[in-house]
Amino acid sequence: MSPANHKSPVDTALMTNGEDSSSSASLWVRFEQITRNDTQKTALIQELLMRYDYLSEQYRKECQDREREHEEIRGFQRDRKLYQDHLFTLQRAIERDPFVMILIDGDGMIFSDDFIKEGEIGGRKAAATLQTAILDYVQREVDTVPTDVKVVCRVYANIKGLAEVLVRAGIVEEIGLVEEFTRGFTRGKTLFDFVDVGPGKDRADDKLIETFKLYLHDFHCRHIFFGCSHDNGYARILEDVITDPSYVHRITLLEGVPVEKELFALPFATKKLPGLFRDTKLYVWGAQPAIRGYTPPIAKTYPIVSGLPARFPPPRREASQGSLNGSPILPNRTPSNSTLASNDVFPALANPQAKSWAAKAAAPPPPVTEAPTYKPSSREELIARNRAGQRVDPPCRDYNKEEIDRVKKLKMCNVHFLRQECPYGTNCTHIHDYKPTAGEIATLRLVARMAPCQNGSACQDVKCIYGHKCPSEYKVVAFKGTKNCVFGDKCKFPLEMHGIDCNVVKTLVIR
């Protein structure tokens, strides 16, 4: 081959390129397509990586949340086990030592005379009888009380005041017998207590109410027996719990004397224990009661004064030798020297000859004789008497129930305003600093006259403020238990203070 005909590879390629110049454009297109594809691929990969990172972070968080939840579940399971154990222990604690509570206002819910007369033995019998009666009741009537329930009892009272009234009423002969009864009651059962709150207004009430509030919310206390049937004042505290049915079913009112009107209206069950408590109020002849549960009902700590201070023995109701129109002449009633000497409130009474109003009142009445022929001096004090020698009180203002109720609510001290010599002074539970009107003094005198004097119509105390004849009778001659006495057999004035002749024929001179 000649050199002229020889073509180098370059020439051949140029010739080829020349021939294929039309396809170079497609190569650039293809290159651009590949480049775009690479960009899209890169963007896709970047997007995938970003999504991966996001999902990885979410997964990590989700795993952490699940781990926390699992830990919380494990902790809850541990706590639940502890709580279950604690609840089981608490339930066992609540079920352990269940008891029923007996709360008694001993100033008004008075135990039967038969128990009190036996002293300490009677107290033990009363405690045993009360426990047996309550256990029998809860086992038959109360479904929420288990069979192994214990009985706890608290009796609050002014023991000395209660004893004095029982002595005055003739239930017992001496105060010590009542004190022995309370000791026997306390000793009779381990969980029984007869608590002496001492003298003072509403002391038993306050203790009873606060103790009631305490045990009302005690889970161990399954039932409360509340002995307060004689006093409407307890209706206030009981009204506060009637909105909760669970409380209503846990309270039973014990009945001694008939349940008072306001208490009867409450939705609580009542239970009467026959033979255990007195079902009638005490009628204390010639004394204003020192505690509630007696007739007429007044403040529990009001002094027993009816011409004489408190703590004298009960008057002897002996038959007299003579009478006029069925009205017996009262026998002499003189306190014993031992009683006078033991009176630590009025030391002057230790000497019966002391020239005091108490000594004068304690002296025996004079014999019934003709009217004195002498003229008394201006310093002499007179007592009007009828032909039989019975004291005749001066007239009082007419009875007005609304005015009497209003004056009673003032709580004025009868002895202070009517005698101007209250023996209790600053310790008196009734007010002294009130300035009553003349009308209020007249009403107060009428109220005092409605309580019989313990010395009866033979009373010699010129300043005596109490009644010496039944104020309810409307004829000259009227007898207790007849239609002429509006109170009938329940009249607090004794038989001999009815049907008294009010015609004054003589006077008794006190020098």
Total count of domains within the chain: 2
Answer yes or no: do 234 and 135 share one domain.
yes
- Assigned domain for 453 exists: yes
Residues 6 or more apart in contact with residue 371 via CB below 8 angstroms: 505, 506, 507
Span 444-464, average pLDDT: 86
Count Cβ atoms within 10 A of the Cβ of residue 336 and give its class: 0-12 exposed, 13-18 middle, 19 or more buried.
exposed
- Assigned domain for 304 exists: no
Answer yes or no: do 232 and 379 share one domain.
no
- Assigned domain for 501 exists: yes
CA distances from 129 to 123, 151, 198, 271, 276 (A): 10, 12, 26, 15, 7
Note the pLDDT tens digit of each residue in 354-369: 334 344 444 444 443 3
Q: Which pLDDT belongs to residue 390?
A: 86
Span 473-490, average pLDDT: 54
Q: Bigger pLDDT: 499 or 123?
A: 123
- Assigned domain for 400 exists: yes
Q: Which pLDDT belongs to residue 332?
A: 35
Q: Which pLDDT belongs to residue 484?
A: 62
Span 444-473, average pLDDT: 84
- Assigned domain for 122 exists: yes
CA distances from 401 to 295, 305, 404, 443 (A): 17, 24, 5, 10
Q: Which pLDDT belongs to residue 7?
A: 54
Helix (H) or strand (E) holding 334: none
Q: Does 163 have pLDDT greater than 60? A: yes
Among 225, 255, 283, residue at a domain's last position = 283
Which domain does 251 fall in, by range?
Answer: 95-283
Q: Does 134 have pLDDT greater than 50? A: yes
How many CB atoms neighbour CB 333 within 10 A? 22
Answer yes or no: do 140 and 264 share one domain.
yes
Answer yes or no: do 262 and 145 share one domain.
yes
Angle between the N-to-C axes of helices 119-141 and 175-188, in degrees from 0 to 180, rounded to the nearest 10: 40
Contact between 153 and 92 (Cβ < 8 Å): no
Q: Which pLDDT belongs to residue 13?
A: 52
Is 0.85 topped by the overall pTM? no
Q: Which pLDDT belongs to residue 509?
A: 57
**How far, in Å, CA of 204 to CA of 196, rounded?**
9
Would you state the torsion angle of the CA atoms of residues 24, 27, 31, 37, taken in this order, to the nearest 10 degrees? Answer: 150
- Assigned domain for 82 exists: no
Q: Which pLDDT belongs to residue 4?
A: 52
Q: Which pLDDT belongs to residue 380?
A: 47
Answer yes or no: do 257 and 368 share one domain.
no
Note the pLDDT tens digit of each residue in 211-232: 999 998 888 899 999 998 888 8
Q: Does 350 have pLDDT greater than 80? A: no
- Assigned domain for 486 exists: yes
Span 421-450, average pLDDT: 87
Looking at every residue in the chain, the average pLDDT score rounds to 75
Answer yes or no: do 369 and 497 share one domain.
yes
Q: Which pLDDT belongs to residue 504?
A: 84
Answer yes or no: do 254 and 371 share one domain.
no
- Assigned domain for 269 exists: yes
- Determine the straight-line distance between the first and last CA of the chain, rounded to whole angstroms: 192
Angle between the N-to-C axes of helices 159-168 and 175-188, in degrees from 0 to 180, rounded to the nearest 10: 130
Helix (H) or strand (E) holding 25: helix 24-95
Among 283, 311, 343, residue at a domain's last position = 283
Which residue do the tokens 């009025």 mark? 346
pLDDT band at 458 (very low <50, low <70, confident <90, very high): confident
Answer yes or no: do 154 and 246 share one domain.
yes
Q: Does 326 have pLDDT greater than 60? A: no
Q: Which pLDDT belongs to residue 363?
A: 46
Note the pLDDT tens digit of each residue in 309-318: 333 333 333 3
Answer yes or no: do 379 and 260 share one domain.
no
Answer yes or no: do 398 and 503 share one domain.
yes
Note the pLDDT tens digit of each residue in 242-264: 888 888 888 999 998 888 888 88
**How far, in Å, CA of 24 to CA of 46, rounded?**
33
Among 225, 252, 283, residue at a domain's last position = 283
Span 428-450, average pLDDT: 88
Q: Which pLDDT belongs to residue 331?
A: 35
Answer yes or no: do 274 and 367 share one domain.
no
Q: What is the DSSP string of 188-250?
A: HSTTEEEEE--SSTTHHHHHHHHHHHHHHT-TTEEEEEEE-TT-GGGHHHHHTTTTSHHHHTT
Answer yes or no: do 371 and 462 share one domain.
yes
How many CB atoms neighbour CB 205 within 10 A? 21
pLDDT band at 125 (very low <50, low <70, confident <90, very high): very high
Note the pLDDT tens digit of each residue in 260-293: 888 888 889 999 998 999 988 876 544 444 444 4
